[in-house]
Amino acid sequence: MRMDHESAKPSIKEALQLAKCISWCLQDGNNKSLAVYALDFAKYSTTTNPPMRAQRATIIGLGLSGALLALSLRRYSSTIPTIYELRASPSTLGGAINLTPPVSRILDSLGLLAAAKEIAFQTTEIGIFSLRSGAKLGALPFNDVETGHTSLRVERAQLLALLLRALEEAGVRVVFGRRLESVREVGEERVAAVFADGEEVESELLFGCDGIHSLVRGSYVEPDRKATYSGLSSAYGFVVPPGGLAEKEGFEGTAVATGTRGSIIVSYCGPGRDKVFVGAVMEVKAPEGDIDGWRGKGAIGAEAKKELVERFGGGDPVFKAVVEGVEEWSFFPVWVLPSGGTYWKGRTVLVGDAAHAGPPGGEGAALAMEDAVILGRLVGKAEAEKGSIEAVLKRYDELRRERVMENYTRAEARWEGAKNRSWLFQQVTEFFMWAFLMASWNKREWGFEYDAANVGLGDYVSQIKAESTGVASDVGRQPPYQPTQMKLSVFIGLALAVMAPAVAAIECTGECGPYPSTFQVWKCDSVCSGCVCRCGEGDKYALC
């Protein structure tokens, strides 16, 4: 809904303000200037050059990436987005997701962080526990000491509700109950979304934010790239904190407990610590029926609960009480896309899981939100500098692909831990967990430095395309990336290696790709499974 600045005021007073209306402000059909309501948009445009005319953008999918993309376009550009959602109303499926420090920075840049903290539990570490004994094996820090940003555990439905309120305040139109049938180019400067009811919506840009089973990808961008079942499924539920949880030794509010038949996460998911999110990842056969997830009710729910208690309730009494306390479980088969692939074609671009859904633990929600902010900034930069859409999408590919691949690789190395394994295997894993956590944190630190709202858009040139292309770049395609899986035998070998004298370390100084200049030292040692060091004139790769 668009509002004249003399007739209405924002309702979220602390987060929103009236952007200054200047000579090139958006106009309605009667050439009357329209005020722009936006989140912390005091500097709606900083360019002194006459901007390009306002473009229109079609966003398919009202998930986290679609909502963040629309807000980013309003924040950084004059592009007018409209979101089309398949469902008749916002989805309430989805557990409590972890928003890492890079996502906190994104929310901060959009003026949403304070509101998000009001509905989230702030996580400074994730404790790793034995499901069998209940003993704490170690912890992964999940905060950014330099910036003060923590991770936030928040219910997905509540976060989406927050974003919907922000969309309304920013004047973004959301249309529910619209099923996409196909996408087609209209000349050289427009693209059309064709819906099941026959309506066609034309715009200058079309964004596929419609998830792993993307119709935008399947009907137009890359029809042959299909999702496959990972072999793992996730289940989640909510429970009132049982007795003994708050007092459990080493429990700081978020824990992952591992066992022979999978792992569970137990975490507060609100500021009051009166609600606990329980999530399980386990190896199950390929699903039949609903590919997107379902709730277990009635007889199905009772059977599912029985299986989950058998899997995860046989050891530590506190974790057993948590699992038994969940009244209703929801289930999601975990699908993945082959790595690499095409991110864009023509004037259509894929965002988040539609472009690069990876294995469990790949921080897909965080990557999707980063995609959204990078795209919003690139579109704004193109408007200011009179750049082309092709340049925007090529740059998006360059800026995002390497980071996505790195996350894909780390997730591939970690997801073995969610699969069934023998008792002996589990004991060895628990014994060497300290070494695994050391290696994991060294890698995770790289991810926490990333700042999508401030990363340079024009100073960083990805070396991947120059070194490994061979595929037409005009459709944004890269050769499939082949990640290295860290099997447990490799992990144990690495753990043993740290007990021996360390091999020569490699120290790299200078600018590190797209990351801030403050992140200048990257060391590799005998614990890591591989690293990338940028030193001197170019990239140098070292395997430890």
**Which residue spans within 381-483 are E strands per DSSP?**
477-478
Domain membership flag for residue 97: no
pLDDT at 221: 97
pLDDT of residue 40 exceeding 50, the answer is no
Can you give the pLDDT at residue 121?
95
**Are residues 234 and 129 located together in one domain of the fold?**
yes
Residue 132 covered by a domain: yes
Residue 190 identity: R
Q: What percent of the chain has pLDDT over 90?
A: 39
Q: What is the pLDDT of residues 475-523, one digit of tens each?
A: 444 433 333 333 333 333 333 333 332 222 333 333 333 333 222 233 3
**C-alpha closest to that of 235 among 304, 136, 150:** 304
What's residue 438's pLDDT? 64
Q: Give the CATH number, domain containing residue 303.
A: 3.30.9.30
Is pLDDT of 71 > 70?
yes
How far apart, in whole angstroms, are the C-alpha atoms of residue 445 and residue 457?
Answer: 22
Examine the pLDDT at 355 and tell me if it is beyond 50: yes
Going from the C-alpha of 356 to that of each of 280, 325, 479, the distances in angstroms are 23, 35, 13
CB atoms within 10 A of CB 444: 16
Which of 118-122, 291-295, 465-469, 531-535 is predicted least confidently?
A: 465-469
Q: Are residues 40 and 124 in the same domain?
A: no
Give me the pLDDT at residue 450, please. 83
Both tokens assigned to 543: 């395997």
Q: Is 177 part of any domain? A: no
User: What pLDDT, on a 0 to 100 scale, did the predictor assign at position 418?
Assistant: 55
Whether 146 is in a domain gets the answer yes
Contact criterion met (CB below 8 Å) for 335 and 212: yes
Q: Which two tokens stand for residue 491?
A: 């992990």
Which carries the bigger pLDDT value, residue 392 or residue 522?
A: 392
Quote the number of domains for the chain.
2
> Token pair for residue 118?
């009001």
Strand order in the sheet with 121-123: 96-99, 151-155, 121-123
CB 532 within 8 A of CB 541: yes
Q: Are residues 277 and 131 in the same domain?
A: yes
Confidence check: pLDDT of 28 > 60? no
Do 28 and 125 lie in one domain? The reply is no
DSSP sequence for 370-404: HHHHHHHHHHHHHHHHT--HHHHHHHHHHHHHHHH
Whether 1 is in a domain gets the answer yes
Q: What is the mean pLDDT of residues 166-171?
A: 96
| Inside any domain, residue 294 | yes
Mean pLDDT of 222-250: 90
Tell me, what's the pLDDT at 417?
55
Q: Which domain holds residue 234?
A: 119-151+228-336
Q: Say what the pLDDT of residue 442 is.
A: 52
Average pLDDT score, the chain:
72
Residue 72 lies inside a defined structural domain of this protein: no
Written as one letter, the residue type at 88 is A
From 301, 336, 371, give the residue that closes a domain. 336
Q: Which two tokens stand for residue 265?
A: 């996460």
pLDDT tens per residue, range 421-433: 666 666 666 656 6
Is 60 exceeded by the pLDDT of residue 108?
A: yes
What percent of the chain clears pLDDT 70, i.e. is strictly above it? 63
The DSSP string of 499-537 is TSPPPPPEEE-S--TTS-TT---EEE-TT-S-EEEEETT
Instruction: Note the pLDDT tens digit of each residue in 177-230.
Output: 999 999 999 998 999 999 999 999 999 999 999 999 999 999 999 999 999 888
CB atoms within 10 A of CB 347: 24
Q: Looking at the domain assignment, is residue 172 inside a domain?
A: no
pLDDT digits (tens, 9 = 90+) for 272-300: 899 999 998 777 776 565 556 555 554 45
| Helices of type H across 273-363 | 298-312, 317-325, 353-356
Nearest to 321 by CA among 242, 235, 239, 249: 242
Instruction: Tell me what pLDDT residue 23 has.
Output: 24
* Residue 496, φ and ψ in degrees, nearest 5: -65, -35
SS (H, E, C) 80-132: EEEEECCCCCCCCCCCEEEECHHHHHHHHHCCCHHHHHCCCEEECEEEEEECC
Q: Which residue has the higher pLDDT, 238 or 465?
A: 238
Residue closest to 57 by CA, chosen among 331, 380, 398, 464: 380
Residue 260, classed as helix, strand or coil, is: coil
Buried b / exposed e across 472-507, counting CB within 10 Å, b at 16+?
Answer: eeeebbbeebebeebeeeebbebbebbeeeeeeebe
Whether 16 and 131 share a structural domain: no
Do residue 40 and residue 123 come from a single domain? no
From the list 534, 528, 531, the residue with the least C-alpha distance to 542 is 531
Tell me which of 156-170, 431-445, 493-507 is least confident.
Answer: 493-507
How far is residue 420 from each of residues 63, 261, 323, 417, measured CA to CA in Å? Answer: 32, 4, 18, 8
Place of tokens 């099923």: 179
Higher-confidence position of 187 and 415:
187
Q: What is the pLDDT of residue 506?
A: 34
| Residue ending a domain, choose from 302, 336, 370 | 336
Phi, psi values for residue 208, rounded to 5°: -90, 100
Provide the angle, in degrees to the nearest 10, between the axes of the packed helices 488-497 and 423-431.
30
Location of structure tokens 């445009």: 45
- pLDDT bin (cut points 50, 70, 90) of residue 157 is very high
The pLDDT value given to residue 338? 87
Final residue of a domain: which of 287, 314, 336? Answer: 336
Tell me the CA distances in angstroms from 305 to 37, 151, 284, 299, 380, one per residue in order: 47, 29, 15, 10, 49
- pTM, two decimal places: 0.73
Looking at residue 293, what is its pLDDT? 56
